[in-house]
Amino acid sequence: MEGLSDVATETGEVACAVLVLSTKPCDFSHAAKQLSLRENFNPKAMCSDTWPCKSDYWALLLGHEVKGRLGLFYFIKRIAGTLRKKHLDYSKSVALLLHCLCYHNNSDYNNLMLALKNGTPSSTGAKLTDEDIEDLKGTRLFRVRYGKCLRKEIRSPEVIRHMLEKWFNACKCSCSDIHNRPAGGRVDPITQQPLFTPETKDNWMCCKDKAEHLQGPIPLEEMYHTTPPNPNSSHQLNECLSRRGESSLESFHGILAHFANCGMRNSLADNLNLTGTARFDLGTRNKLRLLSTTTREQRKKMPGSWETVTP
């Protein structure tokens, strides 16, 4: 087996996970067909890492009324995967690339900044200055700790293309037209290599052409499950669970590698993958339970840090 074909729903649960020989449609077509035949599986939209490629196949399987979108994660990966990771400006360039595609909701961002300056999200209660917040935003800690409190909005296609053009000019080290499109990048002082590789420009141009397929198929208000804060919480920030299936799927892929490995026999690998998938779904359902069945009085009895722990 070379890979795993999986599908995540708007609730964040994994609806289908099968080991396949390759990512060709002929290898996962049977699983996709069986999933489409389920009585409670009626998708309105779907995200794919290759859209609009294979759009005819999905239209035949799910119907032409289902809207298709290109996955944001793989859109970024196609460009970022061609950059030199050891370059001094790699992290900065990827952060700027992400900024070209989406931005944080203004209301959510304002509430988070206010909480950080008041010191409420921190366990130590330390109040952060504007300089501290800017330094924190450039780290992985900011995304891991506070990303769940921020809804992301995808920019319009024309704005994405314009910002991608500016990003390319700002990061490249050489150009043929120094007057209209000057290069703003630099050679790494240690490796003496530019940030871009020979494949970067082709992938960048391809992504610019497909920018129109990134927009969410439903309004922002319907794109997220919003969990109210625990009554005992000091910061009182909402936690947002994306209904974009791709977001949940990539979270699942982050732990997928720990389920099984290629050195195991097929039956053991199958069992471990199914067990890990089931436990992942249980954790997601536990989060959704806070939205539907748990009252404010019930949540007061439980510390906020234990709410996300699966019973």
Domain ends where: 213, 246, 276?
A: 213
Give 113-160 as a DSSP string. HHHHHHT-SSTT-PPPPHHHHHHHHTSHHHHHHHGGG--EEEPPHHHH
Q: pLDDT at position 240, please?
A: 82
**Count of CB atoms situated within 10 Å of the CB of 212:** 14
- What is the domain count for the chain? 2
The reply to whether 158 falls in a domain is yes
Q: pLDDT at position 123, please?
A: 54
The reply to whether 252 falls in a domain is yes
For 298, the 3-state DSSP assignment is helix
125-129, 141-145, 177-181: least confidently modelled range:
177-181
More confident residue, 125 or 6: 6
In whole angstroms, give the CA distance from residue 152 to residue 130: 22
pLDDT (tens digit per residue) in 56-106: 888 888 887 888 888 888 888 899 999 999 999 998 899 899 889 988 889
User: Whose CA is closest to 279, among 13, 35, 16?
Assistant: 13
Does 128 have pLDDT greater than 60? yes
Same-domain check for residues 78 and 66: no
Q: pLDDT at position 179, please?
A: 57
215: DSSP letter: S
Model confidence, pTM:
0.73
Same-domain check for residues 97 and 208: yes
Domain that holds residue 66: 3-71+217-306
User: Whose CA is closest to 149, among 226, 202, 60?
Assistant: 226
In whole angstroms, give the CA distance from residue 44 to residue 38: 15
The reply to whether 267 falls in a domain is yes
Q: pLDDT at position 147, please?
A: 83
Same-domain check for residues 228 and 256: yes
Give mean pLDDT, residues 284-300. 73
Identify residue 147 by its one-letter amino acid code: G
**What's phi and psi for 133, nearest 5 deg?**
-65, -40
More confident residue, 292 or 223: 223
Domain ends where: 193, 213, 233?
A: 213
Question: Are the CB atoms for 69 and 217 separated by under 8 Å?
Answer: yes
Question: Are the CB atoms for 273 and 265 separated by under 8 Å?
Answer: no
Give mean pLDDT, residues 27-36. 86
Q: Please give the structure tokens belonging to residue 202.
A: 């082709």
Same-domain check for residues 16 and 108: no
35-49, 64-78, 178-192, 229-243: least confidently modelled range:
229-243
The reply to whether 311 falls in a domain is no
> Is residue 182 exposed (0-12), middle (13-18) or buried (19+ Cβ within 10 Å)?
exposed
Tell me which long-range contacts 135-143 makes (C-beta under 8 A, separation of at least 24): 138/91, 138/92, 138/95
Q: pLDDT at position 49, please?
A: 79
Give mean pLDDT, residues 208-218. 83
In whole angstroms, give the CA distance from residue 272 to residue 292: 30
Q: Which residues contact 198 (CB under 8 A, 6 or more apart)?
A: none
Does 27 have pLDDT greater than 80? yes
Q: Please give the structure tokens belonging to residue 115.
A: 């909480």
Same-domain check for residues 236 and 187: no
User: Ranked by mean pLDDT, which of 19-23, 142-146, 278-282 comes out on top?
Assistant: 278-282
Domain ends where: 191, 213, 235?
A: 213
Q: Per-residue confidence at 135, pLDDT binned at 50, 70, 90? A: confident
% of residues, the chain, pLDDT over 90: 15
pLDDT (tens digit per residue) in 157-202: 999 999 999 999 999 888 766 556 778 888 988 889 999 999 999 9
Give the chain's mean pLDDT.
82
34-43, 46-55, 76-85, 156-165: least confidently modelled range:
46-55
Q: Please give the structure tokens belonging to residue 157.
A: 């296609």
User: Whose CA is closest to 277, among 3, 2, 1, 12?
Assistant: 12
pLDDT (tens digit per residue) in 254-286: 787 778 776 778 788 788 888 888 888 888 888
The reply to whether 99 falls in a domain is yes
